[in-house]
Amino acid sequence: MKRFFSFLTALCLGVATLAPAPAEAVRIKDIASFSGVRDNQLVGYGLVVGLNGTGDKRNSSPFTVNSMRNMLERMGVSVDASKIKPANVAAVMVTAKMPATAKPGSRQDITVSSLGDAKSLLGGVLLQTPLKGIDGKVYALAQGPLAIGGYSVEGTATSVQKNVATTAYIPGGATIERAVPFDFNQQSTLTLNMSSRDFSTTMQVVERLNAAMGGKFATASDAGSISIQVPPAYRGNLVPLIASVENLEVMPQGVAKVVVDERTGTVVLGREVRVSQVAVAHGNLQIVVQESAQVSQPGPFSQGQTVVTPQTDVAVSEENRRLHMLEGATLQELVDGLNAIGATPQDLISILKNLKASGALHAELEVI
């Protein structure tokens, strides 16, 4: 009996030693969202006028000319399409996000992007543009002067550009004309969608919700969604319930992951990443090949020929680095071990790939 008790004690101590470090508590509103309470995408086609010769070109953007003619005809102005010069006009696409709770008369920010070959939208004004939803109905009207965070200027021999001058922004540039049909307070069941599909985190949220509401009101449908039955005290008045749920705190337990961006050399390691004890040696092999030509010319009046002899110089250099023991029980220990090797970000990418291949890296490796 005493031997069994000693074994059980050792097992418990081993499990406690291997347990990951506790995560920081976060609010439910930061890791989940309620179904139905989301933004709706709106899009529209319009014209930007008042440009200083930086608009669309007539030959490459015929739709701009057609749009200008149609607009003028609707205003009672007859015009010959062959006489229209769109240098000061640009065809654009207008996009906006409309919250589910937006009401007629409220204003929303919009983004304006060039559709043709305009060089810059600086100084332009967007004419009235209807914004439609996925159902084809008009939900908002957009109009106003553009705000641009860049510029583009060019001359005969050179050009200067800062940021992107073909995308603009209008704060409060759209006025909501139609509300999204949504009877928010009459729902008897709410669905909470998790940002990260993790069974452990989802069950933590379910247990936290049931404990806070004093009953089994929340159940997990799968790893990414939770169904909440509205308690009788909140029927017809869901705002206080959702406000309380959003501010409850849990400790999410995500999957250990390493994200590598080979284009920029960026490496991001999560706090759950662990590395088994392993020896690593990483050296750089650099080969430099230089091509040159040696020209031999004959003397004056010697009737000789010029001879070009190619020359190739190859230099090989290799860093001689020793083996380093690498082990990471915590993220700080792992970072210290990698720094001890003296690895650059590009070297670190190669090391992480090989650690994953050897089975020493206990994390999901994602290369983007």
Please tell me whether residues 69 and 144 are part of one structural domain: yes
The CATH code of the domain that includes 201 is: 3.30.1370
Within a domain: 307? no
Length of the chain measured in residues: 368
3-state class of 282 per DSSP?
coil
Please count the CA atoms within 13 angstroms of the CA of 53 that sit on its side-chain side. Answer: 2
Please tell me whether residues 43 and 172 are part of one structural domain: yes
Please tell me whether residues 104 and 155 are part of one structural domain: yes
Q: Which domain holds residue 269?
A: 257-284+319-367
Please tell me whether residues 153 and 206 are part of one structural domain: no
Output the pLDDT for position 20.
Answer: 41
Please tell me whether residues 245 and 262 are part of one structural domain: no
Output the pLDDT for position 13.
Answer: 29
Within a domain: 313? no
Q: What's the first-to-final CA gap in the chain, in angstroms?
A: 55
Q: In angstroms, rounded to a whole number, what is the distance separating the alpha carbons of residues 147 and 265? A: 34
Please tell me whether residues 202 and 327 are part of one structural domain: no
Domain count, the chain: 3
Q: In angstroms, rounded to a whole number, what is the distance separating the alpha carbons of residues 278 and 110? A: 53
Within a domain: 266? yes
Output the pLDDT for position 328.
Answer: 55
Within a domain: 228? yes
Within a domain: 306? no
Output the pLDDT for position 158.
Answer: 67
Please tell me whether residues 245 and 268 are part of one structural domain: no
Please tell me whether residues 138 and 80 are part of one structural domain: yes
Please tell me whether residues 64 and 189 are part of one structural domain: no
Region class of 121: left (phi > 0), else alpha (psi between -120 and 50), else beta: alpha
Q: In angstroms, rounded to a whole number, what is the distance separating the alpha carbons of residues 259 and 274? A: 14
Within a domain: 53? yes
Q: In angstroms, rounded to a whole number, what is the distance separating the alpha carbons of residues 40 and 133? A: 7
Walk along the chain (368 residues) in steps of 10 and give the mean pLDDT of each run.
33 32 76 84 95 86 88 87 86 94 92 92 94 94 90 66 84 93 82 88 92 91 91 88 91 82 79 76 56 71 72 57 55 68 73 81 82
Within a domain: 22? no
Output the pLDDT for position 319.
Answer: 57
